[in-house]
Structure 1
Amino acid sequence: WWLDLLGCSRLSRIDLAVDDFHGLFGREYAKKAYSDDAFRTARAGRAPNGGERLVSEPNGKIINESFEVGSRESRIYWRIYNKAAQLGLDMHWFRNEVELKDMPIDVLLNIEGYFAGLCAYSASIINSLPVKVVTKKRQVALDIHSRIKWARRQVGKTLFDISKHFGGDLEKGVW
């Protein structure tokens, strides 16, 4: 609530991540989910682009392994990468990381829920009740809808009476 007092309602960027130490949600899982359209955030529109990267030494040791969905300029950009290889550790550790831009500040109130609500893929890797992200366009539509409802409730009868008094011409009632 204190951020509302300061006029802060949106986050310019927030990164969320889920780590996998058991081999459940690695690059192959992400590739399969991508081919199943699980990274879509809406039924309509274009699906995000995706691609993989695999860099290894001549002896076969993997030094960079990742699958990415979206682009750095996208509102939602996924990186699923081998964190253990990045740090040179001998263990299984994949990080599922999403970079979100221009998000409502409410994300901070329920991080797991918003993460699960991003797409079918994110819902499949975290056990949380999904919360859908409300985009700015949708928020504006909701705001105008609620303002119209408020106006009907608060001044609807008065506007009707003024309109009736001036024979349906509200312009005559404005001075």
Structure 2
Amino acid sequence: MFGIARAGLKSQYQDWPGLEEWIMATTQRNNTALDELRKSDVMAHLLDSLDAGKDIGHYGRLVFAMVAWRFLPEDDVVRLLQQDNDFNEADARALYLQVKSHDYSPPKREKLLDYQAKQDFPIIPNPDDPDSGNLYRDLQFPDQVYEHISEYYEEKAGA
């Protein structure tokens, strides 16, 4: 997946000392992040579907972006979203920027089920399993995600 970008970097910056080491470190970091994302059955399902070039639907792309931007660099999220056969680079980048600028928190299982009911593509691979689709159980998000959620509930309680 990252081979095309790697080849482009190598040809464009072939005289840059340390490029190969930087590429290897970046690739390792991204592979580690993808391994982390695959701990979630939802994200593994979305990644596999994107790898297969499937249309994961509007809400599938939204969920993917809401979670993936916390783990991967922008260009990698955009590149993965473009594998959806119904999504181009401009659409993928716009979605990424929308999700990041609004600091969307990853959705709870109930919201995933709601999204899933609004499209043909199944976001949760096994919706009958109550443990399937629990992003917060499966993934360790950055502290700012949990702080954002805590602030939301504090504001809600104070209203």
Question: TM-score under structure 2 normalisation?
Answer: 0.33
Which one has a bigger Cα radius of gyration? Answer: 1
Give the helix-richer structure, 1 or 2.
2
Give the strand-richer structure, 1 or 2.
1
Question: TM-score under structure 1 normalisation?
Answer: 0.31
